[in-house]
Amino acid sequence: MITVEVKKEIIEKHERGMRVVELARFYKKSASTISTILKKKEEMRELDLAKGITRISKQRPRVLEDVEKLLLVWINQKQLAGDTVTDNLICKKAKDLYADLVNRRPGTSAGNEEGFKASRGWCEKFKRRSGVHCVARHRESASSDARAAAAFTAEFQKLMVSERYRPEQVFNCEAMRLFWKKMPKRIYGTEKENVMPGCEPTKDHLTLLLCANASGDFKAKPLAVSPSENAPAFKKDTVQKSPLNVMWRGNSKAWVTRVLFMEWVHEVVGPALKKYLLEKNLPLRALLLLHRASSSPPGLEDDLLEEFRFITVKFLPPNATPGLQPMARQVISDFKKLYTKALFQLGLEVTEGTNLTLREFLNNHFQIESCLKVIEKAWDGVTKRTLNSAWRKLWPDCVLGRDLEGLPHEQEPALVHEIVSLGKTLGMEVNEEDVQELIEEHGQEVTADELMDLHRKEQQEVMGEISSVEEEEKKAKEPLNLKKIREMWEMWETVQNFVEKHHPNKAVALRAMKVSNNNAMSHFRKILERSQKQLTLDRSLVKVAQKEKDSTEQIDRSDSISDSENRSTQ
């Protein structure tokens, strides 16, 4: 069956001048099928469905199409990060997206969520429609992850003993999302303010990478990745990047890429760690414990500069990291609370004695330079004891005062209470549950807004590529150079074969190449297929013409011989 996206492609090509007969030949369909598609072009234009969908049901709500469209973006992000995606996770995320999208529509409410159960039957049909693969079964995944976590813990503790690593020499990194203007959802202040809006999905959003050692007395300057490399303050040169308390970088999705990660290690972490070990009179050797993600895949040690080869990299097992990753436990949670407290304190200092509301402060006066100061204050506020006790599950022998293991957790209520008190001083009706919800939202799953934003960006990138190609084709006197495309395609196949043969994690490599094939290479593949079909057609026409010519020559020769024989007979 023809997918909706291919039908849209057929309509687009027809409007560019391709005839029905040519379309039928190119897509290997009958002319009547192509004509039927073209008759429904207005209906097709209005559809924005998940990739791979072939049939449209009038009984199928539009919101379900939106759910599946965003769900595919989410699955793609998960698989690129090397995370296991199970049927249970797909069903849960689908139900959450459905509830979120329904609540946005006029005249609907969360009660409509009961209309969509996200059942296993729906999940199987969704996977068939969209071609989703590499989905693990929940029980198998959970049991294998638990076994992997237990095995890694035992292996890690043996390594610490055999290699005689000290807590000062072992450090860990963890990334977190920070919506740096985000306030609790349920905030009521003056009558003018009413409810404070949440921040937009990509605006006011940073990814922070925090790093500290197991003893808790070494904290590296964080890496901050923004959706924009140049914030307004940087464009105006009112703030210089080099002396900042973070290493500031940017890309469109605010992701910590491998390149940015290695820059941070070489320019910040490596030099600071080397200086720290020398000052402590410790052996120049260190172990860096990482979560295996797209920013830190295997082979990182090969990219280290010679002066930092004293750093050994070890990866946590996939999908077992939430329980084992030291920084992902109490450290990130404490940092978020300290950030919120420092933000409330700054808001109180600025608005006290003025007519400024909290909304006006956040929108007009709280810019990125102020945010970075709040980040610095929060990171400084994370205590040595918190950093050290975060290792109690993975490496309990390194934790000081193990009999007081729960002490950092006991400090949480006091910190939350301080935040609530500050909020009430600012005129908010906020409680402990509101603060806890805000803290959890900073690290929650990708939201519907973010998925929509990613989907829009992907569409814009594709349309931008199509437009740029069209412009180039219009400007060029000759069509695209097919010879160069063929050479590029051969090189791409060589790269794929090499990666598939030598990559230590073939599943991750295959998923990444599949995404590249679908998103980046499909355009060139279609050009080659079109040229090949045209070449085959041309050759067929040449053969037909040659046969006609040979037949004509043969008839002419026969007529000539016949005329000669007749003359001879006469």
What digits encode the pLDDT tens for the residues 533-548? 666 655 555 565 565 5
Residue 561 lies in a domain: no
Query: What does the pLDDT average to over 148-174?
Result: 93
Average pLDDT in the chain: 76
State residue 405's pLDDT score.
46
The beta-strand segments (E) located in 16-88 are: 85-86
Is residue 51 in a domain? Answer: no
pLDDT, mean of residues 398-416: 66
Q: What is the mean pLDDT of residues 47-63?
A: 55
- Per-residue pLDDT at 371: 92
Out of 442, 463, 498, pick the residue that ends a domain: 442
For residues 437 and 185, the answer to whether their CB atoms sit within 8 Å is yes
CATH of the domain at 302: 3.30.420.10
More confident residue, 51 or 27: 27
Distance CA 230, CA 555 (A): 78
Residue 458 in any domain: the answer is no
Mean pLDDT, to the nearest integer, of 468-475? 52
* Judgement on whether residues 255 and 342 belong to the same structural domain of the protein: yes
Residue 527 to residues 5, 16, 17, 372, Cα–Cα distance (Å): 17, 16, 17, 48
If you count them, how many residues does the chain have? 570
- For residues 431 and 484, membership in a common domain is answered with no
pLDDT for the residue numbered 378? 95
What long-range pairs does 470-474 form, CB within 8 A, spacing at least 24? none
Query: Given this model, what pLDDT does residue 196 score?
Result: 45
Q: Which of 415, 442, 469 is the last residue of a domain?
A: 442
pLDDT in the model for residue 112: 47
| 192 and 286 housed in the same domain | yes
Reply yes or no on whether the pLDDT at 89 is more than 70.
Answer: yes
Higher-pLDDT residue of 169, 106: 169
Q: What percent of the chain has pLDDT over 90?
A: 22
Q: Do 207 and 339 lie in a common domain?
A: yes
Average pLDDT of the segment spanning 482-493: 83
pLDDT confidence bin for 57, thresholds 50/70/90 = very low
Tokens standing for residue 210:
């925090």
Residues 398 and 484 in one domain: no
**Cα–Cα distance for residue pair 98/115, rounded to 1 Å:** 10
pLDDT top residue among 131 and 472: 131
Greater pLDDT, 318 or 47: 318
| Minimum mean pLDDT range among 69-73, 128-132, 305-309, 560-564 | 560-564
Q: What is the pLDDT of residue 404?
A: 46
Q: Check pLDDT > 80 for residue 3.
A: no
- Retrieve residue 98's tokens: 């459905």
Higher pLDDT, 352 or 60: 352
Residue 569 lies in a domain: no
Asked whether residue 336 falls in the same domain as residue 267, the answer is yes
Of the ranges 101-105, 114-118, 450-454, which one carries the lowest mean pLDDT score?
A: 450-454
- The pLDDT of residue 117 is 83
Which of 21-25, 251-255, 521-525 has maximum average pLDDT? 21-25
Looking at residues 507-530, what average pLDDT do you find? 74
pLDDT at 116 over 70: yes
- Residue 192, pLDDT above cutoff 50: no
177 & 231 share domain: yes
Where is average pLDDT lowest: 305-309, 315-319, 425-429, 564-568? 564-568
Task: Select from 446, 464, 441 the least CA-distant residue to 73.
Answer: 446
- In this prediction, residue 113 has a pLDDT band, given cuts at 50, 70 and 90, of very low
Last residue of a domain, one of 442, 460, 486: 442
Give how many domains the chain has, as a whole number: 3
In order of 25, 121, 169, 203, 339, the CA distances from 254 in angstroms are 44, 36, 30, 10, 19
pLDDT at 364 over 60: yes
Q: How confident is the model at residue 372 (pLDDT cuts 50, 70, 90)?
A: very high
pLDDT of residue 198: 41
Residue 340 lies in a domain: yes
Of 207 and 188, the structure prediction assigns the larger pLDDT to 207
Does 157 map to a domain?
Answer: no
Stretch 270-290: mean pLDDT, rounded? 96
246 and 302: one domain? yes
Q: Is the pLDDT of residue 209 over 90?
A: yes
What the block records as the tokens of 118 is 């996200």
Whether residues 428 and 506 share a domain: the answer is: no
In this structure, the answer to whether residues 500 and 411 fall within a common structural domain is: no
Q: What is the DSSP letter of 256?
A: -
State yes or no: pLDDT of 359 exceeds 70. yes
550: containing domain: 478-555
Is 400 part of any domain? yes
Q: Has residue 458 got a pLDDT over 50?
A: yes
Mean pLDDT across 142-153: 77
Which phi and psi (to 5°) does residue 412 adopt? -60, -50
pLDDT score, position 47: 61
Identify whether 348 is part of a domain.
yes
Phi first, then psi, for residue 312 (nearest 5°) are -100, 135
Range 254-276 burial, b when 16+ CB lie within 10 A, else e: bbbeeebbbebbeebbbeebbeb
- Residues 188, 450 contacting (CB under 8 angstroms): no
CB-CB contact of 398 with 316 (8 Å): no
**Pairing label, strands 135-136, 170-179:** unpaired
Same structural domain, 181 and 328: yes
CA distances to 7, 32, 42, 45, 389 from 38, rounded to whole Å, are: 8, 10, 9, 11, 66
Q: Does position 98 have pLDDT exceeding 80, yes or no? A: yes
Q: Are both 388 and 533 inside the same structural domain? A: no
pLDDT at 111: 45
Strands 311-315 and 247-250, bridge-based pairing? unpaired
Q: Which of 101-110, 146-155, 259-268 has the lowest mean pLDDT?
A: 101-110
Asked whether the predicted pLDDT for residue 48 surpasses 60, the reply is no
Asked if the model's pLDDT at residue 36 lies above 80, the reply is yes
CA gap 412, 409 in Å, rounded = 5
